[in-house]
Structure 1
Amino acid sequence: MQDEHTAPLLDYYTRHHASTQWRAFLTALAEEFETQLETAQLRELMARIGVRFADAHPAIACATLDDLASFFNKTWSSLDWGFVNLVEQNDYLAIEHFCAPLAAFGTAGAIWTPAFLEGAYQRWLHALGAGTLALQQVETGNLHALEFRLAKAA
């Protein structure tokens, strides 16, 4: 999805997406969090916040992957939190989340802030019947998309 023409546009969007009134505050908040908590603890905290978010925005019934993608995209779009692409593979479902404004937490937060999305997606998917399937973030090298995979627990 990303090439030499779209990369600068996405870089710009990522830097300017979060409101300027929040960027300095969120960066300072992230820096303070990092002095008080280890990365694993920060990921756990963000995942719990994601669960609370999902509880406040409950999933609607989804009969197909298109329905699920539509629910995700309506939810995130209403909050200006980017968009989602679902990719069904043989042994997992990939959730690609583009343009989340998590960059507002600063570059160091990139390691732990995506756990917010992971927690929200896990909660929604569990509520929709994912049962024992586990959701996990995977590193793709794409600076503008976060990927989570739903698969059988290892």
Structure 2
Amino acid sequence: MTNTNVNTATYLSYYTERHCSPQWNRFLALVFDELMTQTDREGASGFLRHIGSRLAAEWPLGEYETLEALELSINGALNQLDWGWVSIRPEGNHLSIQHVAFPVPGTTEHTLDKAFQAMSAVLEGLYTTWINEQGGSGKTPLRCVDTNVTLRSMTFHYGQ
């Protein structure tokens, strides 16, 4: 029988070392903590969404006919950034976007909480911009609806 606590600890140790390099880990953890703690949350989130939008604008995907083609293109961009991968699927009146293995600094509950808040805003800006390239509406909301700290995943919904 596998001890999931050991596997989870090993995974998190590897993940932390691999996806947020030592020279940036502590610095980014502090930046995210200060942004999310010392400023009003909406202001900090707006700033970080803007950063995500700028990143997407510098990495345009082009237009795609299918969700599968869009997902493949996004995964190609994320792979080049070493930012994990995404799965996109339609669900009722919205798209569900699950992003796994994104870089996030921190190892304590507090630093991970702030880093997840910050990265969700960055990814909201990134996905909003890329979806708008596909003909999406800037007025259609895209928000993080679920997080999983253990798996380093977030789920976003685009639509009502």
The bucket for the TM-score relative to the shorter chain is 0.7 to 0.9
Name the counterpart of 1:119. Answer: 125
Unpaired segments ≥5 residues, structure 1: none
Instruction: Report if the CA contact (8 A) 1:93-1:149 is conserved.
Output: yes
1:104 deviates by: 4.7
Separation in 2 of the partners of 1:141 and 1:81? 16
Cα 1:140–1:104 change in 2 (3 A) is closer
The structural deviation recorded for 1:8 is 4.2
CA contact (8 A) 2:32 2:118 kept: no
Cα distance between partner residues in 2 of 1:61 and 1:9:
39
Q: Which residue of 2 aligns with 1:67?
A: 69
Q: Distance in 2 between matches of 1:13 and 1:82?
A: 14
Alpha-carbon shift at residue 59 of structure 1 (Å) = 2.0
Measured in 2, the distance between the counterparts of 1:30 and 1:80 equals 19
Is this contact kept in 2: 1:85–1:96, CA < 8 A?
yes
The match for 1:80 among 82, 97, 107 is 82
Query: Matches of 2:11 and 2:64 in 1, distance apart?
Result: 30
- Alignment counterpart, residue 137 of structure 1, candidates 131, 144, 153: 144
For structure 2, the residue ranges without an aligned partner over 5 or more in a row are none
Tell me the secondary structure at the aligned position of residue 101 of structure 1.
coil
| Structural RMSD (CA) | 2.2
1:35 and 1:151 map into 2 onto residues whose CA distance is: 29
Q: Decide whether aligned partners of structure 1 residues 85 and 13 sit closer, same or farther in structure 2, where only a CA change above 3 A counts.
A: farther
Q: 1:104 to 1:52 in 2, by over 3 A?
A: farther
Distance 2:28 2:148 in 1: 24
Q: Provide, for residues 41-74 of structure 1, a one-character-per-residue CA deviation record: whole Å limited to 9, x for no partner.
A: 2111110100111110012221111111011100
Matched letter for residue 147 of structure 1: T
TM-score (normalised: structure 1): 0.84
**For the structure 1 residues 32 and 134, does the alpha-carbon distance in structure 2 shift closer, same or farther, using more than 3 Å as the test?**
closer
Task: Report the Cα distance in structure 2 between the residues aligned to 1:27 and 1:142, rounded to whole angstroms.
Answer: 15
Partner of 2:97: 95
Mapping 1:27-66, distance limit 5 Å: 27-66=29-68
Equivalent AA in structure 2 for residue 150 of structure 1: Y
The 1:56–1:65 alpha-carbon spacing in structure 2 relative to 1, beyond 3 Å, is same
Match of 2:158 in 1: 150
Contact 2:148 2:154 (C-alpha < 8 Å) held by counterparts = no
